[in-house]
Amino acid sequence: MATHDSLLIVEGLHVSYGTKQVLHGIDYSISEREVVAVLGANGSGKSTSLNTISGFVAPSSGRIVFDGADITNLPAHKIFRRGVVQVSQARDLFPELTVEHNLRLGATIRNRGEAEEHLERVFEYFPRLSQRRRQLARTLSGGEQQMVAIGRAVMSKPRLLLLDEPSGGLAPQFINEIGTIIQALKDDGATMLMVEQNLALAFKVADRFIILRDGVVSDGGFVKSLEGNHEEIVRTIYL
């Protein structure tokens, strides 16, 4: 349920790809400094919900409100400038640019002083990237590339960070590192909405859960606090 302090409000969101309807009128809201995980089986509409919020997919109907303003039909670059920044599954790095150059591209809307400050902050979150700052992105491992993608998003100082499968395809070592970084961002007050298949990671860092099933919010509601039964959440997703 949306409240007066909700940073993001999604109301009655319907999304279709051609004749196939993917989201069927979903509703949820997120407050500042919250980390909310979107859970669900493959094909439940998780990534579509993020892509619609960030402006990469147009909804059939419904409304998306960010910081009190309706952003439903804004183009993606204008939503980005308002502070909604997404890290996609594809990562979308520039392979022939260095780690540092890829990171700096995230700060194009900031002045030079802010960019330098944010770069040093990113290297505090990602010490591994500081060691590889002059290395070409294409030479990095998958886990390191994911760190660059998240770090580039952090460079823009987002009001809302959207993470689409941050642990997807990574080795356990990097999943643990990504989890530690997400927790550090959370501790520093970041607001995040993340799609995640790795339930252990989601249970570790999320304050609440939104469970999607066949394009609808499952179980009559979306609030699943950390005090809840994790086995119940797993059953809700997969059974």
pTM over 0.85: yes
Written as six digits, the tokens of 156 are: 């823009």
Q: How does pLDDT run across 183-205, given as a tens digit for each residue?
A: 999 999 999 999 998 999 999 99
Q: Would you say residue 233 has pLDDT above 70? A: no
Length of the chain: 239
- The residues, ordered by sequence, that sit 6+ positions from 124 with a Cβ below 8 Å of its Cβ are none
Q: Which carries the bigger pLDDT value, residue 18 or residue 229?
A: 18
pLDDT at site 111 = 76
Percent pLDDT > 70 in the chain is 90
CA atoms within 13 Å, Cβ hemisphere of 226 = 12
| Phi, psi at 223, each rounded to 5° | -85, 115
Asked if 199 and 236 touch (Cβ cutoff 8 Å), the reply is no
Q: Would you say residue 112 has pLDDT above 80? A: no
Q: Which CATH class is domain 1-83+158-239?
A: alpha beta
According to CATH, where is 3.40.50.300 located in the chain?
A: 1-83+158-239
Give the mean pLDDT of the chain. 89
Which residue in 47, 46, 79, 52 sits closest to 156, CA to CA? 79
Poorest-pLDDT segment among 1-15, 46-60, 133-147, 151-165: 1-15
Q: Would you say residue 210 has pLDDT above 80? A: yes
- Work out the pLDDT band at 226, boundaries 50, 70, 90: very low
Distance spanning both ends of the chain, measured CA to CA: 25
